[in-house]
């Protein structure tokens, strides 16, 4: 392996992520896969389709996945599905290629693989996961991390926490940050504003779920404490039905739950919000604040987890355990146009640093380093500098 093109043709992406509704972790796998395919076009003037393997699917499901992964040479001839396929069929369907496992899990039987584990949440926020899920991850991830030839994570914070809980061998993992430029491909659907009687610059936006580490109750309590006339808080995300039932009636006129929205609707909500509020207690990376920054939305962010590492000086920070601090931050953003403009400019500059092309190149460099291929590594450095 001496050229970028040869390297790109020795990769097989674990496509299990494409068979389920997209989460933040799945977004990473999709975008890095797409970026790798685009690198093929960049370096050779053609785009050999990245090989992607998926579990057993019905004809209809396979067609839907193939449409979603239009950049891929898709194969789904396995006899099994989900974890059984991942453990016992995936390792033997890659024809000697590197397997790219970018969603926290991979096959124990494979060594020539890249494994990306995004965070240590099953240790840091165990209450957000079922007992069976916690046990499975705590049992298998340390074995996978030791067996995988290339080990990745998405922030220095995650690397340090995963080493502390003995999932990662010390010094083995490479940090490859997420990108954010996928937002540029999404077309805004501004009909969501009219649909919910929202106007530009006249609402706060937050995103998350009912999981405790997402800390939505803090943002909601802050909205409740805000003085009369403060713009309402709009909540988007799944698994918030209990919060909606219990809390929306208690904050009349100041709280609106939209639950799940399309990518286009979400981009419109980011673009038109007065500010984005992100109170998570811990995050391995935290895509939503960067998505908001990309869309020109000022961000109020938690000091928890990797969020300060990722957002740098482009966010207004508040303690995730102090609703009063969030209330004060929201009032400040609502009343200080200069502060909003400053954060908007800083956020735009910050988000420009995170691209999926860069993520893909750094993943390939991690492979080149293990292969001790200095020529390939330098070729990738040249690509990254463009």
Please classify residue 83 by burial: count the beta carbons closer than 10 Å to its beta carbon, then call 0-12 exposed, 13-18 middle and 19+ buried.
middle
The residue ranges of the chain whose pLDDT is under 50 are none
Q: Domain of residue 361: give its range.
A: 4-179+355-385
Would you state the pLDDT for residue 250? Answer: 65
Would you state the pLDDT for residue 240? Answer: 67
Q: Which residues is 52 bridged to in the sheet?
A: 13, 74
Would you state the pLDDT for residue 79? Answer: 82
Would you state the pLDDT for residue 59? Answer: 85
Same domain? 336 vs 359: no
Same domain? 9 vs 32: yes
Same domain? 143 vs 290: no
CB 350 within 8 A of CB 314: yes
Would you state the pLDDT for residue 47? Answer: 60
71 secondary structure, DSSP code: T
Reduce the secondary structure of 199-221 to three states and give it as a string: CCCCCEEEECCCCHHHCHHHHHH
Would you state the pLDDT for residue 349? Answer: 97
In angstroms, the CA 142 to CA 232 distance is 44
| Residues near 256 by beta carbon (within 8 Å), at least 6 away in sequence | 196, 198, 203, 232, 233, 234, 235, 248
Nearest Cα neighbor of 271 from 198, 220, 353 is 198
CB 360 within 8 A of CB 4: no
The domain total for the chain is 2
Would you state the pLDDT for residue 212? Answer: 83
Same domain? 140 vs 283: no
Considering Cα of 193, then 326, then 276, then 24, what sign does the dihedral take?
Answer: negative
Same domain? 339 vs 365: no
CB 173 within 8 A of CB 152: yes
Which of left, alpha, beta for 52 (phi over 0: left; psi -120 to 50: alpha)?
beta
Same domain? 161 vs 220: no
∠ CA 27-31-37, rounded to 5°: 150
Other CB atoms within 10 A of residue 49 CB: 13
- Token output for 202: 């006249």
Domain CATH for 257: 3.40.50.2000
Same domain? 150 vs 74: yes
């Amino acid at each position: 392996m001496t050229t970028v093109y040869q390297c790109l043709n020795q990769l097989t992406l674990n496509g299990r992520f494409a068979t389920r509704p997209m989460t933040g972790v799945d977004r990473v796998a999709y975008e890095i896969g797409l970026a790798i395919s685009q690198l093929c076009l960049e370096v050779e003037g053609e785009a050999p389709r990245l090989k992607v393997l998926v579990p057993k699917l019905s004809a209809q499901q396979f067609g839907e996945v193939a449409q979603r992964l239009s950049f891929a040479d898709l194969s789904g001839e396995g006899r099994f599905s989900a974890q059984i396929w991942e453990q016992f069929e995936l390792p033997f369907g890659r024809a000697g290629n590197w397997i790219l496992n970018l969603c926290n899990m991979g096959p124990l039987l494979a060594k020539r693989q890249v494994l990306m584990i995004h965070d240590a949440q099953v240790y840091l926020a165990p209450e957000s996961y079922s007992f069976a899920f916690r046990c499975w991850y705590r049992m298998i991830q340390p074995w996978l991390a030791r067996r995988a030839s290339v080990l990745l994570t998405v922030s220095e914070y995650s690397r340090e926490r995963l080493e502390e809980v003995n999932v990662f061998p010390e010094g083995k993992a490479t940090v490859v940050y997420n990108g954010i430029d996928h937002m540029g491909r999404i077309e805004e659907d501004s009909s969501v504003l009219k649909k919910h009687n929202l106007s530009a610059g006249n609402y706060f936006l937050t995103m998350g779920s009912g999981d405790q580490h997402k800390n939505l109750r803090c943002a909601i309590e802050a909205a409740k404490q805000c003085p009369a006339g403060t713009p309402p808080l709009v909540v988007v995300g799944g698994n918030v039905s209990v919060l909606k039932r219990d809390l929306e009636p208690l904050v009349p006129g100041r709280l609106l739950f939209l639950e799940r929205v399309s990518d286009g609707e979400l981009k419109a909500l980011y673009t038109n919000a007065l500010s984005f509020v992100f109170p998570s207690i811990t995050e391995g990376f935290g895509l939503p604040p960067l998505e908001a920054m990309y869309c020109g939305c000022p961000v109020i962010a938690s000091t928890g987890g990797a969020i300060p590492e990722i957002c740098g000086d482009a966010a207004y920070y508040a303690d995730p355990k102090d609703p009063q601090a969030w209330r004060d931050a929201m009032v400040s953003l609502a009343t200080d146009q200069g502060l909003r403009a400053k954060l908007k400019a800083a956020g735009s500059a910050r988000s420009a640093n995170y691209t999926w092309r860069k993520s893909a190149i750094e993943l390939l460099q991690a492979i080149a380093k293990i292969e001790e291929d200095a020529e390939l590594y330098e070729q990738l450095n040249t690509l990254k500098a463009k």
